C-alpha cells in the first residue's frame, strides 16, 4: 500500500471486493465506485492473479463464498495478510458466530461486517482504515530513513523525540489511560492529539480542559456539568467536559491543580465509568479515554498528601515524558525554521533566514518557556523585522546576555565601529517595525516599544519616519 503522500500524488486508492453475492455489487458501486478504483472479483484465483500484477490498497473478502466453508475464508485472510502486510483487509460474513469473528481477528482483519451490510457505514470505515494505514506507512518510511523530523504536529528529530513518537505509536491503538509529563510549553496537548489521531477514537470528540486556566469554583461544574438550579447561576442544565467526551477522549491538562475533593470525584468517575451532574441524582454511563498531563512532581505531591495516591496509580498507567527544549538542543534550529516559515506565510511576509550566529545563540539558550517561548520569539521577529536576514542584534537582550556566541559576535573589530550610526540604525529599524505593527499608530508603537509619547514623536522627527 502507498503512503498518503504517494497516494495523493498518483491515483485514488484501489479497492477489490471478492464475492459471488450478486446483491453486493450494486451497493458497492453506488457507495464506493465514485471514490475508489473499484474492482469486483468472484474467486480466489482471480484475486491471486491481480496480486501478481498490482496489489490493491484494500480487499473486501466474502468469507462465506471464497471457498467451500468460512474456514477457507479465514485461511484466505491469513494468507493475504502474510502476502501483503500493509493491505487493508475487510471481512464479510452472514454468520453471527463469535468464534468466527475471533478467528478473523486472529487473521489480522482490519474490519469485519455481518450481512446485511450498510455500505454507507462501509464507506466511512474504509476511508478511515485506508488513511490510518497510509499514515502508518509514512511514519515507518520516515523512521527507516534515519528518524522522523516530525510526527503528526510534533517537530523534532532528536533521540528524545524519537522515543516520544514510539511511545505514541504503542499506546494509540488501546484505550489505556496516558499521563503526559513535561514542563510548561513543551507541547503536551500536541502529544495528546497525536495519540488520538492514530487511535480508533480519532473521529470521536476530543475534549480538552486546562485545569490551571479555571478558578477552582468553576472547575467542578466544567468537568461534571450541572442541572438547572444546581447553584445560583445555573439557569439551564449543562453537560460537563467528561460527558461531552463520551465515545471520545478527555484531555485533562494540569491535573495536579485539582483539589482533593475533586480528585475523589474524578477517581469515582474513572472507577465506575459514570458521571453525575451537580444537582443531579442519576448517574450517566460514560465511555471515554483519559489522557492527563502535568508539569508537577506527582510523586512528591502524593508523599506530601496533596495528590491522592489511588488516583495517581489510576492515571499513571502509561507515562510519556516530553523533554524540555534544553534536553533536545538539536531540535531548536528545526523548530525555529518551522515557526519562521509558518509565521512568514501567515503574515504574507517574504521568507526570512537566520544568520549562522543566530542559530548558535538559539541553541545555547536554556529556553525556560520551552517550545512555546521559541514560537513566540519567531512570531515577534517576523512581525518586527524588515530585513530578510535575522541577525544577532535582532535577538532579545536576555538571549544575548546568556550566550557566549553573542559575545563573540559583538566583539569590536580592530578598526572599531561607528557606535552612533549602529545605534541609530537599530533605533530606526525598531521604530519602523513598531509603526507597521500598530498600523501607523504612534501611540500603539510607543506602547510596543515601552516608551512614552513624547519620546516617540522625538524619534519620528529624528529619523524622519511617519508624518511630522
What residues contact 163, with CB distance under 8 A and at least 6 apart? none
* pLDDT at res. 246: 93
pLDDT per position as a tens digit, 302-327: 999 999 999 999 999 999 999 999 99
Residue tagged 474490519 (cell numbers): 111
pLDDT per position as a tens digit, 133-163: 776 776 566 555 445 677 888 999 899 999 9
**Res. 287: pLDDT tops 80:** yes
> What is the reported pTM?
0.57
- Of all residues in the chain, what percent are helix, strand and coil, respectively (each to 5)? 50, 15, 35
Q: Give dist(CA 251, CA 177) in Å, integer.
A: 10
**Res. 3: pLDDT tops 60:** no
- Cα-atom radius of gyration of the chain, to the nearest Å? 29
Q: Give dist(CA 3, CA 135) in Å, integer.
A: 6
Q: Give dist(CA 36, CA 2) in Å, integer.
A: 14
Mean pLDDT for 231-245 is: 85
Give the domain ranges of the chain.
Answer: 4-135, 150-321, 327-463
pLDDT per position as a tens digit, 25-62: 888 888 888 888 899 998 888 888 888 888 899 999 88
4-135 and 150-321: identical CATH topology: yes
Q: Give dist(CA 464, CA 315) in Å, integer.
A: 62
Q: What is the CATH number of domain 327-463?
A: 1.10.8.60
Mean pLDDT for 241-252 is: 95
pLDDT per position as a tens digit, 58-86: 999 888 877 665 567 788 888 888 888 88
Tell which phi-psi region holds residue 109, choosing left (phi > 0), alpha (psi between -120 and 50) or beta.
beta
Strand spans (E) along 87-153: 88-93, 111-114, 150-151
Q: What is the CATH number of domain 4-135?
A: 3.40.50.2300
Mean pLDDT for 119-126 is: 86
Q: What is the CATH number of domain 150-321?
A: 3.40.50.300
**Res. 233: pLDDT tops 90:** no
**Res. 245: pLDDT tops 60:** yes
Of the listed ranges 63-67, 177-181, 206-210, 295-299, the least confidently predicted one is: 63-67
Amino acid at each position: 500500500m502507498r503512503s498518503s503522500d504517494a497516494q495523493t500524488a498518483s491515483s485514488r486508492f484501489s479497492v477489490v471486493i471478492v464475492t459471488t453475492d450478486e446483491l453486493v455489487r450494486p451497493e458497492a458501486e453506488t457507495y464506493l465506485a465514485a471514490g475508489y478504483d473499484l474492482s469486483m472479483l468472484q474467486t480466489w484465483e482471480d484475486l491471486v492473479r491481480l496480486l501478481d500484477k498490482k496489489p490493491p490498497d484494500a480487499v473486501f473478502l466474502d468469507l462465506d463464498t471464497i471457498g467451500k466453508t468460512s474456514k477457507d475464508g479465514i485461511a484466505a485472510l491469513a494468507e493475504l495478510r502474510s502476502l501483503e502486510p500493509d493491505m487493508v483487509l475487510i471481512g464479510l460474513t452472514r454468520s453471527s458466530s463469535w468464534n468466527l469473528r475471533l478467528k478473523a481477528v486472529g487473521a489480522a482483519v482490519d474490519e469485519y461486517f455481518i450481512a446485511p451490510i450498510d455500505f454507507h457505514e462501509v464507506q466511512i470505515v474504509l476511508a478511515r482504515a485506508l488513511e490510518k494505514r497510509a499514515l502508518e506507512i509514512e511514519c515507518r518510511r520516515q523512521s527507516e530513513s534515519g528518524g522522523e523530523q516530525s510526527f503528526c504536529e510534533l517537530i523534532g528529530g532528536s533521540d528524545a523525540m524519537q522515543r516520544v513518537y514510539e511511545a505514541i505509536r504503542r499506546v494509540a491503538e488501546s484505550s489505556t489511560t496516558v499521563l503526559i509529563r513535561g514542563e510548561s510549553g513543551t507541547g503536551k496537548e500536541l502529544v495528546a492529539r497525536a495519540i488520538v489521531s492514530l487511535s480508533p477514537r480519532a473521529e470521536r470528540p476530543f475534549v480538552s480542559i486546562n485545569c490551571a486556566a479555571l478558578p477552582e469554583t468553576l472547575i467542578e461544574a466544567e468537568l461534571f456539568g450541572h442541572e438547572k438550579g444546581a447553584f445560583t447561576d445555573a439557569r439551564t442544565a449543562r453537560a460537563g467536559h467528561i460527558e461531552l467526551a463520551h465515545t471520545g477522549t478527555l484531555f485533562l491538562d494540569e491535573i495536579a491543580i485539582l483539589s482533593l475533593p475533586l480528585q475523589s470525584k474524578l477517581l469515582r468517575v474513572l472507577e465506575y465509568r459514570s458521571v453525575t451532574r451537580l444537582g443531579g441524582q442519576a448517574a450517566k454511563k460514560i465511555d471515554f479515554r483519559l489522557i492527563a498531563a502535568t508539569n508537577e512532581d506527582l510523586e512528591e505531591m502524593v508523599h506530601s498528601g496533596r495528590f491522592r495516591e489511588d488516583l495517581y496509580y489510576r492515571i499513571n498507567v502509561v507515562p510519556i515524558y516530553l523533554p524540555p527544549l534544553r534536553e533536545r538542543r538539536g531540535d531548536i534550529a528545526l523548530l525555529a525554521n518551522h515557526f519562521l516559515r509558518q509565521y512568514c506565510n501567515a503574515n504574507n511576509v517574504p521568507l526570512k533566514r537566520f544568520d549562522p550566529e543566530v542559530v548558535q545563540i538559539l541553541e545555547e539558550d536554556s529556553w525556560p518557556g520551552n517550545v512555546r517561548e521559541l514560537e513566540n520569539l519567531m512570531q515577534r521577529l517576523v512581525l518586527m523585522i524588515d530585513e530578510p536576514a535575522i541577525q544577532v542584534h535582532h535577538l532579545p537582550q536576555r538571549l544575548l546576555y546568556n550566550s557566549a556566541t553573542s559575545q563573540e559576535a559583538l566583539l569590536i573589530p580592530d578598526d572599531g565601529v561607528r557606535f552612533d550610526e549602529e545605534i541609530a540604525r537599530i533605533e530606526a529599524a525598531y521604530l519602523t517595525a513598531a509603526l507597521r505593527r500598530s498600523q501607523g499608530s504612534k501611540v500603539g508603537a510607543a506602547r510596543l516599544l515601552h516608551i512614552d509619547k513624547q519620546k516617540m514623536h522625538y524619534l519620528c522627527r529624528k529619523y524622519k519616519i511617519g508624518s511630522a
